[in-house]
Structures are given as structure tokens and as C-alpha cells.
Structure 1
């Protein structure tokens, strides 16, 4: 067995020991190895399938007809038993993410339809699975903290599987928070490896099996050619730059939300106070008139203003003063009720 601990080697003081599988070149190196990919798929299917061999297929699919367009997968393989498996590495969220993955799967299904002899074909389509590794983002509309989603067609009523041959498996790395000491299954170890490989210095003891030894050997940065190292460094920098942009976008969105809430609260309070003043004046005037002439216009106005000016401001006082002048109230009464000066009232 090879020694997989390079943490003290002088060539690795400023270099990674293992590459990041979520960047383009890292993904191609690690999953471009057939045995490695077979091990990965058999762990992901968790015993539901046993894939003994596979064939890498062309990742570019040209649509039938000028308007159909082209689809490019990260990776697609065909097993010896006919299943088609798409493997996608997604590093950022985007609109219609789930629909895009659905489109990918449907594209492979429709490709299997012959151009002729449909009757003889009888819709004998193969099983098609889309496996999506999601790095550093969560699936929209799914906030249950789950890191592994294994999806097929089910009956909504009883939850029983309706058709299993068209499936989607999502690996949400951001939701996987187990430490090395908490790993208990091969699936746990795959998640831990995908999320932490580029920061590790050696193969964890719990992962010391032939499956993971191979994965870690392929992931050695020092084993890459000079060209692949250069490509990897560029890919990693692009990932870091994209992460900086993503964090900035999140901060900007949060800032705009906070500003919007603050502005909305201020405007809401202002409009609420205006409405309250209007209602207070209206009710105060009605109440004063109901009490009759025996208590006088002055008392009625005071009661109405007591409700309407509880939280009033200078602007509202001016509005009240204008109304009182229209009613012909005495200057002294207006001064007492609005706290405005005689000079200010005369200018209204």
C-alpha cells in the first residue's frame, strides 16, 4: 500500500496535497478513471444497483433539427446493463435548477427513440439517472437540512414507487456537517471526501480501504503533469473568484433587504401617523359636535385634538391650524391647541 501522508514533504508546504474534486480539472481527473467512477456510483446507489462496467459516452448532444440546440453534460456513461447515468458537478445555483436537470434526463430518454419503426421499438427506453454534486449552495424550495436526495417517480397518495427507472440523486455538500469521527458509512465517507479533500493532508484512517486509497492516489497534486497542475491552479482560482463574487452578491442582497425594510418602516410610520391624525381630527370633531353647545366649540375641539395630536408633529400642527382657521376659531384657541405662534398662524 502506498504511503498517503505527504504533510511534511518540503514540496507541499505551499501546495495542496490533494486536488479539489469540485473544480473542472479535478472532476475530470477523478471521475475520468473508470474504476474510481464505478466505486463512486456503486456507493451512491447504495446496493440498489451493482454496476460492474461502464462506457464513457460523448458529453455533447446535438438536437434533432436546427431549433433543438445542443446539450453538453459534465459526464455521461452507459453501464453494461444499459442504464444511462449523467454526472453533473454544479458549483452555483441558478434559476430553474431542478428543471434544467429534468431536461438533461429527458434529453437522454428522447435520444433513445428511433427515427423509424416506433411500433417495433415499443418505447423500450433504458433506465436514466442524473447524479448532481452541489457544491456550496442549497436547492431552492428544499430547506430540510438533508444532504442526500434520492428521487424517483412516486404515487403522491401512498408514497409508493410508481417508476424507478427515471431518477435524480442530489448530493448537497453544504448540508453535510459530519466530522471525521462521525463517519459511519461509505456514503458518509464520499461526502466527507468530496467536501474536504483539498484541505486534507493525508488519508483518514477510517477511509483506509482500497476504494478510497485509489481515490486519494488519483487526487495527489504532485502526481499531476505540469500542464494539469497549471490547469488545476487556474480552475481553483476561478472557483475562489466566483466564491468572492457570490459572497458579495449575498451581502448586497442582505443590505438591500435591510435598507428596504428600514425605508418601508419609516414610510409606514409616516403614513400611519398621517392617517391617525386624519381619523383623530374626524372623530374629535364629531364628538365635540355631539356634546352640544353647552360644552362649547372649544371643548369639542380640544377632545378631538387630544386624540388626533397624541403623536403629532409640527407639520400636523400646521394642518390642524389651517382647519381651525377655516372654522373661524379664535386665535388664542389655535395657539393653545397647536403650540404655534400668532405670527406663524397669521401666515397660514
Structure 2
């Protein structure tokens, strides 16, 4: 919102409030022990390391002994496909492993609309980029010798449509639709439920369902999930007697992070562009569902009683209905009470009543 001042000067209230919120969040982060890896900046500091990735991936894929991944190469996360105009995709972490796996790891804090579509669309771009890079290492230029050239052409035909294994790992801080447990592996299957290809998989974690206590953490997979979920609110993270995990924890200590990166984290935590889009979506949906109902009821009451107060009450009820619809949608998506209160403007007691009502239905 912009306010017009004297002499043609305007003041952007929204931007000013955002800057104030970022500064306040920055000061709060500095008082914490760790930066929160559930946000993009903290996640990359925590995980974007060759040894941390190897340990995490071996846990995710349950690889042991000779099958364990022994090295990974972190790659440029930016992908640009060219249609009539370039279409950019920015991944959180993209890497290739020594066993031939192409890996994309995404930390998803905000609940996006059309989540499944987003996973598929992003994976298509990731798969095309992985195929292109894989071809560069397997296709040799044609030599002048005809016999040698035929061998290369034969190999080209053999691998023309061959793709490397491409696995997308999504770590979600919201309720994942149609997934019962905290961990799910999704694939492309036919009508009979048979997997079409083992080379394409989506491994999705729902941190809202990950409730294991510290004494029940046994695997590397669970250790990393536990740390990701709890780092932002913990003062003393366990390293599980693992040097790789100990170094990862050390990287997210607030005292070891530059002020510039802390400000990036604060900006990330106030509202990402994606969260702003999601909030606008919630408001629009609430506008259509709650505001119209509240205003209509208020107007009817005002007409029946012949008083303007009825209309005013209706407008107030409409605004309250809108806030409640936003709160319901956010609670259904697994957002925290703190976040719901901040965005909806409702009191915590109102939100708890709404939550209890949802859970009893």
C-alpha cells in the first residue's frame, strides 16, 4: 500500500513494513544458536557439501557396503530450457553421484498450489538437463575412419533415448497430499500398478508427520530429518557421534555465519515470493467464500432491522470470515499456529478453536 504525501512524494507502507520485519527477524536470528535449515539459505549452508550429501543420500536410498555412494559432484542449480523464450528453473541442490544417479534435492517450506504439478514440471526440466550432460560424456565425435565412425554411430543409436537415473528428493514442511507417512517414494506406474521405469522416482518427506523422538532415531535418513526439523528451535543439536553431521551442525551455528548470510536468511523468513503468492491465493479464496457470505448475512440483517449498524456488522463479519477462511486453509496445510496468527490476524485462542473444530470433523 502506498500513501501520497506532500509535494508529490509517496510512501510505500508495505515495503517499509517488510524492511522493518526483516531487520527485526535479523536481530532475533542473532540471538539463536542455529540458523533454520528449513529455509533455502540455511538449507544450502547445511547440506550443500559433498560429504554431507553422500551421508544423506546413502541414508535416503538405504545403500550399504559396496553399493554406497562414494562421491558426488555438486552442479549448477540453474537450468534454462529454451522454448520460444528461455524458461529458467532454479533448483535448491543438484548433483550427480558416482553410481550414476542424478539427484535434485528441494527444501520446500511454503505450501505451493498444484504441488504435484510443480514436482512433475521441475523434474522434466531436471531430467532434460541430466540427459544432455550424460550425453556429453557418452557421445564421441565422429572420426574420419569409416569403420570407427560406424561403431560410434551404432553406439549413438543405442543410447539415443537412454536416460540416467533421475531422482527428486522433496523435503516438505507441510502436509503432503495423499501421503500417509512421513516418507513416500512415488514413481510412474501403469493401470495395473506396475512401475514403468525405475529410473524416475520422487522421494517425498513430510516433516509434519516426522515425530520420532531422539531415542528412536536409528538410521542416517532419520538423523538428517531430525536435524532439519529441529535445528531452528534447538539450542543443542546432537551430532550422533558422526563427524560429517558434526561439521554440518557447525556450519549452521549463528556465530559461524556471516552477517550478510544472516540477512539473507531473515529476508527468506519474512516472506518469500512464493509465500506472498500463496498468501494472495488464500486471500482471494477467502474473499470469494467468506467475505461474500459475511456481507450478505450482514446486509440481510441490516435490511431486516432497518439499521446501518447491521451493514457495518456485516462488513465486520465478512472480514472475520475472510480471516477464518485463511486460518482454516493454512491449518489444513500444516502451518504453525504462530504463522497462522501472523498472517490471519486472529488470536491464538481463536485459531485453536478453529483447529479443534477441523479435527473433530
TM-score grouping bracket, smaller chain normalisation: 0.5 to 0.7
1:126 maps to what in 2?
164
> How far apart in 1 are the matches of 2:266 and 2:295?
45
- C-alpha deviations, 1:304-323, integer Å up to 9, x for none? xxxxxxxxxxxxxxxxxxxx
**Distance (whole Å) between structure 2 residues aligned to residue 220 and residue 131 of structure 1:** 25
Q: Say if 2:229 is the partner of 1:195.
A: yes
CA separation in 2, counterparts of 1:243 and 1:60? 21
Tell me which residue corresponds to 2:211: 177
Residue 337 (structure 1) aligns with: none
Rounded Cα–Cα distance in structure 1 between residues aligned with 2:257 and 2:79? 30
Q: Against the structure 1 CA distance between its residues 68 and 90, is the aligned structure 2 distance closer, same or farther, given a 3 Å change threshold?
A: same
Alpha-carbon distance, 1:195 to partner: 0.9
Query: Which stretch of structure 1 is more off in the superposition, 81-90 or 175-184?
Result: 175-184
1:153 matched to 2:188? The reply is: yes
Residue 155 of structure 1: how far off its partner (Å): 5.0
How far residue 63 of structure 1 moved from its aligned partner, in angstroms, is 1.6
Do the aligned partners of 1:133 and 1:171 also contact (CA within 8 Å) in 2? yes
Match of 2:73 among 55, 74, 78: 55
- Please identify which structure carries the higher helix content: 2
Counterparts in 2 of 1:50 and 1:155: CA distance versus 1, 3 Å = farther
CA positional deviation for 1:77? 0.8
Counterpart-to-counterpart distance in 2, 1:200 and 1:244 = 27
Structure 2 residues without counterparts, runs of 5 or longer: 1-27, 140-152, 298-361
Partner SS for 1:163:
coil
What TM-score do the two structures reach when normalised by structure 2? 0.58
Of 79, 88, 91, which aligns to 2:109?
91
Secondary structure of 1:70's match?
strand
Aligned residue pair count:
250
Alpha-carbon distance change, 248 to 188 in structure 1, aligned in 2, over 3 angstroms: farther
What are the superposed Cα offsets for residues 127-146 of structure 1, whole Å, 9 maximum, x if unpaired? 101111112x2223x1x541
- Alpha-carbon deviations, 1:52-89, whole Å to 9, x = none? 11112122222244345222212211122332111112
Between 1:64-73 and 1:121-130, the stretch displaced more is 64-73
Partner of 2:254: 221
Higher alpha-carbon Rg: 1
Q: CA RMSD in A?
A: 3.7
Name which of 241, 256, 269 aligns with 1:236: 269
